[in-house]
Amino acid sequence: MKYTLLTLLALALLAAGLLVWLRFEFSRVEADQVHGTSTGMRDFAQVEVKSVADAVDKDCVQQYPHNRAWFGALHVHTSASYDATAFGTAGTVDDAYAFARGEPLPLRLKFDPPGYQAPLLRISSPLDFIAVTDHAEALGEASLCYDENSESYDVLVCRLYRGDWRLPVEEELQPLIRIATQAIFGQDRSARVCGKDGARCRERAVRIWLENQKSTEAWHDRSGDCAFTTFHGYEYTLAREASNLHRNVIFKSGTVPQAPLSAKDADTPEQLWQWLDRTCIAGSDACDALAIPHNSNWSSGRMWYPYSNRAWPEAQQKEMAQLRSRLEPLVEMMQVKGDSECRNGIASVLGGTDEFCDFEKLRRPSEAIPDCGEQMGSGGMMLQGCVSRYSYVRYALTAGLSEQDKLGINPFRLGIVAATDTHISAAAAGLEKGHQGSHGIDRDPRHRLMGEVEVPGGIGTGSPARYNPGGIAGVYAKENSREALFEAMQRRETFGTSGPRIRPRFFAGWERGDTLCESPDFLQQAYNAGVPMGGDLPPSPDGSTGSPTFIASATADPRPGANLLQRIQVIKGWIDEEGNTRQAIYDIAGDPDNRASVDPRTCAVSGRGFKQLCTHWQDPE
């Protein structure tokens, strides 16, 4: 009995010692060790704005007065992102730019054995523009953990992150454990990795951000050919109650803040916008920026929650609505982790079922999910909780009309783009055939076919079997330059697809347009008589209250092997007299009954289609 008690006492002391050690190893930087500011932001709230560029861009030789469609990627991760490295990604920022230009990319992983022949990826057609958007969060931590000369290299967090020490779980879960070692700190920093005041990680983050800037400038085509345009950017990765509030920040020029403000430094999107406005836009004549939210389908209704519903003073509601309208003109509606346009089965959206709203959903379309109603939900990143119309872009656009009536400001005036969110340095949305995943470990088909996989710590739930190759951004601009492309993004003359390089156009005006599609100078007349997609249609010149005329056209992807078009739809959204969100769907061109189909065994496409569609339309109601 005596020996049993001694053994239990020894085990208890060992367990207590282990807990003390783990608490030490996972200790956080104390808040009073960080220099805060009056706005609640910290660390990088005050930074210098400058450029590392050593040359200026020449004027583009080719000009397109009626704007040409340029295709690119605005959401790309490399091994500089902590989660990409946790998945094993070895691709660099330079690899991402080389791949986008058409060079082959070996899909190497950090854990590949010596001599392993990694598969080669090659984009089907080079991109016109790209922004690498590595996570600002843990940018310094990830680098320090892999630097053998750093003080952080041998701490437990880094050993677990690199996979040197492995927990006794299945091999498929090891990358998720590695992610958790960084994500578990949330908006705090690891004191063991970053030092008591966090300075070690902040300084390393600045260094990595500077290296990324140099690569971005090196790959940017400054000649009059304007063959390839690069943008400086990063991802601001905020989550609240397991609900996604991520944004990609894109800068107009080479003049940028010399440190990226992360969710560890600013814990609301409003603080991010205020920082960009103060530090970049107002702080320098040469700096401009915008933010692009993504994966609102994971947001539990928080992404597009109306300002008029918030318990804020009216002046603050209007101020933030105005700031958002100016800083967030775009939304990434489609990417690897699903479509964020719409969803069937939301009780607070009236207007019937839209079959296309079942496209690329992480939560099964057949799943019965309660409606969040007018409340914010939680658990979206865990694929749990209620579903909200404020998680989807189609209904956000309608909510913006309501905000305009209530606040006099529409914060949700949104242009559309799409992206991949690749974590392997390869923005390859077009690789539907031969797709080898987007996260490194899903190079192995077994990983791509996994169902729901929870990241330890309640951080999120992956669903690899329901991921997809992602999308691509289209921008209408007169030339392929930073200035022209960025200004087109600001005016929202953009579009996004799930990969095909379709070229859609949409104009609105008050003149009759029934012969415009047949006109040889179609684009000139359309721009002269109306406003393009993303623009604001002014009131009718004669003061009438009739319906405007819309001109819609689309050209199929011209590349060999691309599919034809089936139809063009117009989706109308409005708020009825009872305050309900309503939608109506109109087929306005093409043929919905063209017997288009796909053989699931071979992916062969059948049925008739169209290379080009164009029509004019007025609301029949």
Whether the CB-CB separation of 210 and 191 falls below 8 Å is answered with no
Span 238-249, mean pLDDT? 97
Angle among Cα 278, 267, 385 to the nearest 5 degrees reads: 135
Running DSSP on this structure, what letter comes out for residue 171?
G
- Rg of the Cα atoms in the chain: 25
Sequence-separated contacts (24+) of 450-456 with Cβ below 8 Å:
450/172, 452/383, 453/172, 453/173, 453/176, 454/176, 454/382, 455/176, 455/179, 455/180, 455/183, 456/173, 456/176, 456/177, 456/180
**Distances 85 to 107, 139, 179, 415, 516 between C-alpha atoms, Å:** 13, 11, 9, 32, 52
Strand-pair category, 597-598 with 605-606: antiparallel
Residue 425: closest CA among 70, 94, 71, 86: 94
Assign residue 288 a region (left: φ > 0; alpha: ψ between -120 and 50; beta: otherwise): beta
Summarised one tens digit per residue, pLDDT across range 159-200 is 999 999 998 888 878 888 999 999 889 889 999 999 999 999
Which tokens in the block code for residue 174? 């090891």
| Residues sharing a CB contact under 8 Å with residue 67, sequence separation 6 or more, in sequence order | 476, 477, 478, 488, 493, 532
Span 222-232, mean pLDDT? 99
SS (H, E, C) 230-283: EEEEEEECCEECCEECCEEEEECCCEEECCCCCCCCCCCHHHHHHHHHHHHHCC
CA–CA dist 235, 247 (Å, integer):
6
Summarised one tens digit per residue, pLDDT across range 311-340 is 999 999 999 999 999 999 999 999 999 999
What pLDDT is stored for residue 14 in this prediction?
Answer: 43
Least confident piece of the model among 27-41, 159-173, 462-476, 554-568: 27-41
Q: Residue 415 carries which side chain, given as an amino acid letter?
A: G
* CB atoms inside a 10 Å sphere around CB 48: 10
The residue among 447 and 467 whose pLDDT is bigger is 467
Running DSSP on this structure, what letter comes out for residue 387?
B
Summarised one tens digit per residue, pLDDT across range 108-126 is 999 999 999 999 999 999 9
pLDDT interval class at 431 (50, 70, 90) = low
| Residues sharing a CB contact under 8 Å with residue 374, sequence separation 6 or more, in sequence order | 309
Whether the CB-CB separation of 530 and 508 falls below 8 Å is answered with yes
pLDDT > 70: percent of the chain: 92
What pLDDT is stored for residue 164 in this prediction?
Answer: 94
Q: Which residue has the tokens 């690897």?
A: 336
Q: Among positive and negative, which fits the CA dihedral 223, 228, 233, 234?
A: negative
555 pairs with which residues across the strands? 503, 612
Question: What is the reported pTM?
Answer: 0.94
CA–CA dist 15, 553 (Å, integer):
69
